[in-house]
Amino acid sequence: MLRADLPNSAAKILSADDVGAALNVSRETLACLKKFVELLLKWQRSINLIGPGTLDDVWCRHILDCGQIVRHFPDRPGTVLDIGSGAGLPGIILAILGVPNVRMIEADSKKCVFLREAARICELSVEIVEARAERAVCEPTDILTARAVAPLTRLLDLTEPYIKPNTICFFFKGVNYKSEMNKLKNKWKIQMKAHQSLTQSGGVILQMTSVTRAHLHND
């Protein structure tokens, strides 16, 4: 369980130990997260994996930000598909935190090389699919995640093939999420919850279920 007092703590730069305590992970898991961050920062020198402005606060802006969604997962999450995984955020982080059956879709070949190396270094059993989201061949999933991929209208178009009636979607969104949600009206039927982000003021984790296209009928 995550610590309930975290939103106040997240206003300052957090250390690895701060984030480990917030995520309530074991020493072994924290050590694995540290190995991942070390690798991430090393590769960042040659390829752009994360925004340069977030390098000084990588533990809060990326590790904690990704890890916070686990508290909203069901006890048995089933299969997890991370769309546009990039640097493995959140896919690799979820796997390190013990979430099973994680699959990641990423189009950039260099980032896929990084993902494979991260999986090797951290001894993770994950699947990495090198393809654009709209061209990947993957079965519908139980949990779908996406972080910094596209506006909601485009994101749902991309992810529709991977969504089944009981799929739970977790989408990371910033302060303008309500504007994005408004553009879904008359296009999609969705049951939605907005969980306040623990790392970004005004940001949310959108939890979507029963995602289907709205069928308009002309009388």
What's the CATH code of the domain at 152? 3.40.50.150
Dihedral pair phi/psi, residue 193, rounded to 5°: -125, 145
Q: Which residues contact 196 (CB under 8 A, 6 or more apart)?
A: 7, 203, 204
pLDDT of residue 7: 44
Judge whether 218 lies within some domain: no
* ∠ CA 104-85-72, rounded to 5°: 85
* Model confidence band, residue 4 (pLDDT cutoffs 50, 70, 90): very low
Q: CA-to-CA distance for 160 and 150, rounded, in angstroms?
A: 14
75 domain residue, yes or no: yes
Residues 133-147 have a mean pLDDT of 95
Enumerate the β-bridge partners of residue 78: none
pLDDT for res 63: 97
219 within domain boundaries: no
99 near 123, Cβ under 8 Å? no
SS3 percent helix, strand, coil of the chain, rounded to 5, is 40, 25, 35
Q: Residue 157 class from Cβ within 10 Å (0-12 exposed, 13-18 middle, 19+ buried)?
A: middle
Tell whether 32 is covered by a domain. Answer: yes
Q: Is the dihedral of CA 106, 23, 69, 179 positive or negative?
A: negative
Overall domain count for the chain: 1
- Does residue 1 fall inside a structural domain? no
Contacts 24+ apart (CB under 8 A), 3-8: 6/64, 6/198, 7/196, 7/198
For residue 8, is pLDDT > 50?
A: no
- Residue range 8-13: average pLDDT? 54
Evaluate whether residue 200 is within a structural domain: yes
Task: Please check the confidence at residue 69 and state whether its pLDDT lies above 90.
Answer: yes
Q: How far apart are CA 87 and CA 54, in angstroms?
A: 13
Q: What is the pLDDT of residue 186?
A: 87
- What gap in Å lies between CA 136 and CA 80, rounded to an integer? 15
Residue 99 included in any domain: yes
Q: How far is residue 184 CA from its own chain's centroid?
A: 21
Report the pLDDT value the prediction gives residue 109, as an integer from 0 to 100: 97
For the segment 147-166, the average pLDDT, to the nearest whole number, is 95
pLDDT, averaged across the chain: 92
Residue 77 located in a structural domain: yes
- Domain of 103? 6-213
Q: What is the pLDDT of residues 81-117, one digit of tens each?
A: 999 999 999 999 999 999 999 999 999 999 999 999 9
